Structures are given as C-alpha cells and as structure tokens.
Amino acid sequence: MPKFFLSAEAVTGDTLVLTGEQYNHAKVLRLRTGDAVIVCDGRGTDYRCTVSEVCEGQMILQIDSSGSSGSEAAVSVTVYMALPKGDKLEHVIQKATELGADAVVTFPTARCVSRPDEKSLRKKLERWQKIAASAAEQSGRGRIPEVRTLPSYAAALKEAASADLSVLFYENEEQRTFRSAIEAAPFRTAALMTGPEGGLEHSEVMQAEAAGLQICTLGSRILRCETAPLCALSALMYAVGEF
C-alpha cells in the first residue's frame, strides 16, 4: 500500500490533502478515487485512508482509521559518519533509513577530503533529507530520520557520548568487539561513529575514548567508510531483536 508523509500539523479533522511533491508522486502511482493509502505524521502514527477526490493539483483523502506505525525500533540509533567523498553519504542515508536509524549525523575529521562550504552544505542537506524521506516512505517507516551536520569532530563526540551506548569503530582495535559492547549493559539509545576514507588519526581515537566512547572492532577485515556504519547498524538491530 502506498505511503506518504505529512507534517503532524497537516493532520486535522477526518480528511487529508496531498499537494506538491506528494500529489505528483500519487499521480505517478496512478492513484484513483477509492484506492487505499497510508499517511504518516512522521511521529509514529499511521492513518489508513481512502482517496475520496482527485482535483487539479491536489488529492483529498478520507481518514478511515489511525494507529501506531509499528515499524519503529525499540532502540533509538544515531549514525555518526565522517564526511565522505562523492555520493557515499547518500547511499548510507538511504540504507540507514531502511534499517531503522533515527538520525544520520555527519562531521569533519582530520583526514576528510570532502569539506563543502556553507552554501553547498545547505544544498546537500536539503537533498540528503529528501533521500531520507523517500527511503522512509518506501520502507514503511513511522518516522523520517533527521539528517544533520556538526561543525567539528569534538562536537560530534560530545553529542554521541550522551547515548546509553556510544561506540567508535576503529580498524586497529583488536581486543574489544562490538558484540561485547552491546552485551555489557541494557540501552535505549545508541550512537555509532565511523571515520572517513583515510581512517581516523590515533589522536582522534584517543580523543573519542576520553570523551566516553567505547572503541570497538568490526572484525578482521577493513571495511570501506560507507560499509562500516551499515554493518554496525545491521548488527545492532539484529542484536536487539529487530530482525
């Protein structure tokens, strides 16, 4: 069943209206009067609706029932990924949304090659958020993950350290496994942090440990920067019973 997101403020009374991009998407799907759709308010509530009228530029939906989306994970996970080159972050945002992440946060580190200026970063953020919204619709999410940038590595560490489980993955760590970190204590929030293509400098790893993050390995193989966060997120979701 097709799924659309509207702001919680747009949900009033017993009807909903699709306009703009949502209306255009509905047209592409060739929705007609009588068709069933789901509309989500982005806060975990789904509205089962029926198309009642199709006008030029808008589609009117009749709300039949509402309830919890039932697709959100019990654990709130934020993916922290150092700014990568090219469109790698777009891939991570899309897949992390499908896997159940609540947010994707990017930040600069010493070895980051990509360093967009403020103007280009605003444009990228707008595109990244649209990718998250599209992936949320496709995967039946009850929420659209927030995509954000932080101005520094230090700011990312400070924010990540506030989670119940906060982990930095480092290819040279040989002792502490991610599994041991997950099993150490119960948690409701998690922060998973990964570095850029060139990896993190040793001083940055020490900085993360001092901030309170656990330094973990993701196994004996070195993963690409776009693979590591998705691997970690998948492993966490499996561990907490989402798969």
Tens digit of each residue's pLDDT (9 = 90 or more) over 193-229:
999 999 999 999 999 999 999 999 999 999 999 999 9
The three-state secondary structure class of 79 is strand
User: How large is the angle between the packed helices 153-160 and 202-211, nearest 10 degrees?
Assistant: 30
CATH number attached to the domain at 76-239 = 3.40.1280.10
pLDDT category at 63 given cuts 50, 70, 90 is very high
Tokens, residue 237: 């979701």
What are the DSSP calls for 106-174, one per residue? EE--TT------HHHHHHHHHHHHHHHHHHHHHHT-SSPPEEEE-S-HHHHHHHHTTSSEEEEE-TT--
DSSP 25: H
Nearest residue to 11 via CA among 50, 66, 68: 66
In the predicted structure, residue 116 carries a pLDDT above the cut 90:
no
Query: Are the beta carbons of 73 and 237 closer than 8 angstroms?
Result: yes
Binned at pLDDT 50, 70 and 90, residue 31 comes out as: very high
What pLDDT is stored for residue 13 in this prediction? 83
Annotated domain spans of the chain: 3-68, 76-239
Question: Mean pLDDT throughout 27-36?
Answer: 93
The least confident of 19-28, 85-94, 123-132 is 19-28
Q: Is the confidence at residue 10, as pLDDT, over 90?
A: no
Domain covering 3-68, topology: Ribosomal Protein L25; Chain P (2.40.240)
* 52 within 8 A of 59, measured Cβ to Cβ: no
Least confident of 10-14, 87-91, 141-145: 10-14
